[in-house]
Homo-oligomer: A and B are copies of this chain.
């Protein structure tokens, strides 16, 4: 069994070649932004999880590479288009594509990435191809649905904690889940195992996203890498905010809504005051509890995998790293 670092290094060497080829395809302004986006990196968690799942059942990692690239391509496509929709100017410390190139280039290059992900998927040589294709497409559509719900929530005052959990399930957890299941299927794992890995990934993805919400407010500025409180400043309806609104009495609820509607307040004061409400309602602990609940569900799935502990320990280590990350 290879560990995260080894699989990452294997994946990146494969991806680099594809980036090189893609970046030179014509027309330049369609493919150069694709290469630019893929080059920017990121942790490559999804493709590495896919390779790890594959290796639980088969050591021919080559067989899993095209699917791993397809997943990473699709993930980066969603980031590219999300950045247009969120009007974000930076991604992984680089200018976003619509800033560096243009809106139209960003739309069209994103479209191409979405199709390119199917081009890679089409290189998958597996008797489970149709099943893999189904999972991939269903997941892709769910991610769009999650993004739409996320945008809808911005203008809705009635979003519940459950709505939010459903949304992050679609926007984040299903792709992590699908990566693992597809990895298992490229290795011809039994369907029961593939489904367990899906459930493992789904719960891990949920915990991962909740940790993200937590860190944005309660993280350490030095290790987090970006400014603390961004979600509060932008009135983002995170798990923390929705839980607070759910638990708040009239007075605190009024205070929170007033803070959200106050356009004149300074960012620092707003962050401080919202956090003070969170503290009164014990929101930090409740978020960690929820995260832990998902993580425990994930662990149960992991335990039930019909693979020796020795074989599957790297998967647990990676899950642990994802939960203990500080950025």
Contact = CB atoms under 8 A, between A and B. Distances in A.
Nearest to A123: B134
A81 B104 CA distance: 9
Given A118-B118, A145-B27, A107 B130 contact: no
A201 to B, nearest CB: 20
Contact of A145 (B26, B85, B129, B151): B26
Interface stretch (A108-116, A177-185, A246-254, A304-312): A108-116
A254 to B, nearest CB: 29
Contact of A148 (B29, B115, B129): B29
Nearest to A30: B148
A152 interface: yes
A85 B108 contact: yes
Interface in A106-156: 107-108, 110-112, 114-116, 118-119, 122, 129-130, 133-134, 137-138, 140-141, 144-145, 147-149, 151-152
A99 to B, nearest CB: 16
A139 to B, nearest CB: 9
Contacts of A111: 81, 110-111, 114, 144
A145 B26 CA distance: 8
A84 interface: yes
Contacts of A114: 111, 114-115
Contact of A108 (B81, B115, B122, B129): B81
A137 B108 contact: no
A121 to B, nearest CB: 9
Contacts of A26: 145
A129 B134 CA distance: 13
A146 to B, nearest CB: 9
Interface string A210-229: 00000000000000000000
A141 B113 CA distance: 9
A84 B112 contact: no
17 contacts: A26-B145, A29-B152, A81-B111, A84-B104, A85-B104, A85-B108, A108-B147, A108-B148, A111-B114, A112-B141, A115-B140, A115-B144, A119-B138, A119-B141, A122-B133, A129-B130, A133-B133
Interface of A: 26-27, 29-30, 81, 84-85, 104, 107-108, 110-112, 114-116, 118-119, 122, 129-130, 133-134, 137-138, 140-141, 144-145, 147-149, 151-152
